[in-house]
Amino acid sequence: MFSILFKTGLPALAFALALSAQSPAGGRGPVRSPFLISRPVPEPAAVERGKAAFGPACGFCHGTNATGGEGPDLVRSAVALRDEGGDEIGPVIRGGRPGMPAFPQMTDGQIKDIAAFIRNRQQDAIDRGSYTLKNVNTGDAKRGETYFAANCAACHTGSKDLRGVASKYDEGVLLGKIVYPGGRGPAARPTATVTAGGKTVTGVLEYHDDFEAGIRDSSGEYHGFNLGPGVTLEVKEPLQGHVKLMKTFNDKDLHDVLAYLVSKK
């Protein structure tokens, strides 16, 4: 969706530490840091082997670049981020999960290579020093007005609450806010109820991906859950309108709406 914004085609991980790569004296551009957070960057040969193994075994579900498809995005998965050389993803690959086939024939070497490939994809997303921001106001304001009226006008008006919004934010920032606005105050944070093992917990949804959920209850206690059979999760999202549109937006829609909002400065 954001391929026009970044050369990697990936938005930065909101929950990862971004390491700014520095150019050496006399250098011409950014150089990748030798570490991802506190971990060594995988060897290029291992990454290539892992990519070759990942594609036919996992790409049909997780996408050839591990950014998701029918299955979850592994670049942002907490399980994959915690992984060290296959210790977390190895058991999942070999044992499978509900809706995911098992690959017990995978060797230790193949799993380590796949882990290296996923780690490299995470590095690409985290390394903001390699991102190149381009001109984003390339849409058609008239088409944007039509899209806005059909999909956004139930909550917003371009002539009132959003008038002048393009004067407050850089166009690249505003494009991101169209997809999902920031400023998560208490009233705008999602809440959730999880039922597992006969126990029900309700509170603020602190974390949620395809594998896990974390809730902080009214007393401040944090509860973590592994999602799967026998576990139900109900989420109430105050920004549901934006969540719904995230699944349908395409590049043209986004840039057209941006052009419309810029016209309302």
pLDDT tens string 36-56: 555 778 999 999 999 999 999
Q: Residue 49's pLDDT is what?
A: 96
Q: What is the residue extent of each domain of the chain?
A: 35-130, 141-184+248-262, 190-237
Q: Residue 238's pLDDT is what?
A: 81
Q: Residue 186's pLDDT is what?
A: 64
Tell if the pTM clears 0.85, that is, is over it: no
pLDDT at 104 over 70: yes
Percent of the chain residues past pLDDT 90, beyond the cut: 47
Q: Residue 108's pLDDT is what?
A: 96
Q: Residue 162's pLDDT is what?
A: 82
Give, in degrees to the nearest 5, the angle at Cα 21 between 67 and 111.
40
Q: What is the CATH number of domain 190-237?
A: 2.30.30.100
Model confidence band, residue 205 (pLDDT cutoffs 50, 70, 90):
very high
Q: What is the CATH number of domain 35-130?
A: 1.10.760.10
Give, in degrees to the nearest 5, the angle at Cα 261 between 160 and 254.
130
How large is the average pLDDT for residues 234-252?
84
**In angstroms, what CA-CA distances link 32 with 23, 46, 51, 105?**
9, 17, 20, 34
How large is the average pLDDT for residues 119-128?
85
Percent of the chain residues past pLDDT 70, beyond the cut: 82
Higher pLDDT: 77 or 181? It is 77
Model confidence band, residue 187 (pLDDT cutoffs 50, 70, 90):
low
On the 0-12 / 13-18 / 19+ scale of CB atoms within 10 A, 224 is exposed
Is residue 113 within 8 Å of 163, Cβ to Cβ? no
Model confidence band, residue 33 (pLDDT cutoffs 50, 70, 90):
very low
Give the amino acid at 254.
L
